[in-house]
A and B are shown apart, each in its own frame.
Chain A
Amino acid sequence: AQTVTQSQPEMSVQEAETVTLSCTYDTSENNYYLFWYKQPPSRQMILVIRQEAYKQQNATENRFSVNFQKAAKSFSLKISDSQLGDTAMYFCAFTDYYNQGGKLIFGQGTELSVKP
């Protein structure tokens, strides 16, 4: 079975600094997608960034970037210049789209607090 593991239940960072959230996953598939979702205290899940497994280049979206290590099955999220609005739960998610219709398998989440 495919699994996603986030080993950091909580993290904190000072405003304007950089923080990295870790995620590992397990799959025997070669083609899949990985995502980071953000869930602020209001609880609506928002897509932050996605990575296609067939792409070697790491995805970036403004202050958010990933370090995708396919062989190590690692997918970390780096947030640069942290802002107070980045305070949220962050979930790493995996989908084997071709075989499983796009359903997402989520990690347990990392609660990030950005401190002023």
Chain B
Amino acid sequence: DTGVSQNPRHKITKRGQNVTFRCDPISEHNRLYWYRQTLGQGPEFLTYFQNEAQLEKSRLLSDRFSAERPKGSFSTLEIQRTEQGDSAMYLCASSPSSGQGTYEQYFGPGTRLTVT
């Protein structure tokens, strides 16, 4: 298995534009998590899915943010009408929900968003 992948790795956009990020988890993992990390800080939880169901959203996830995992495999995170405060690294992680490694999350390389 090649691990968790995220695309694009870098995104530069102008304020007000919409952006979409993609995460491909480890294939047998049915839990998928999104986090946001700003420079010099630890990651902050945004939302998570079990299979295709979105089970929790953080209050950090404003109405401009939406996440989907339509077939329980890859996930997308969309930010509408981007603001400069959205500039951050967006991290995706996956884990199994049973069996070995249930409580361990494996992270992707992240998508760095810069809003100008």
Contact = CB atoms under 8 A, between A and B. Distances in A.
Do A and B actually bind? Answer: yes
B41 A104 contact: no
Interface in A1-47: 4, 33, 35, 37, 42-47
Given A47-B104, A47-B106, A101 B55 contact: yes
Interface string B8-33: 00000000000000000000000101
B107 A33 contact: no
Given A43-B89, A43-B110, A44-B109, A105 B103 contact: no
B105 A102 contact: yes
B42 A103 contact: no
Interface of B: 31, 33, 35, 40-45, 48, 50, 55-56, 89, 91, 93, 95, 97, 102-110
Given A101-B50, A103-B45, 19 more contacts: A35-B104, A37-B107, A43-B109, A45-B43, A45-B107, A97-B102, A97-B103, A102-B48, A102-B95, A102-B97, A102-B102, A102-B103, A103-B48, A103-B56, A104-B45, A104-B105, A106-B42, A106-B44, A108-B41
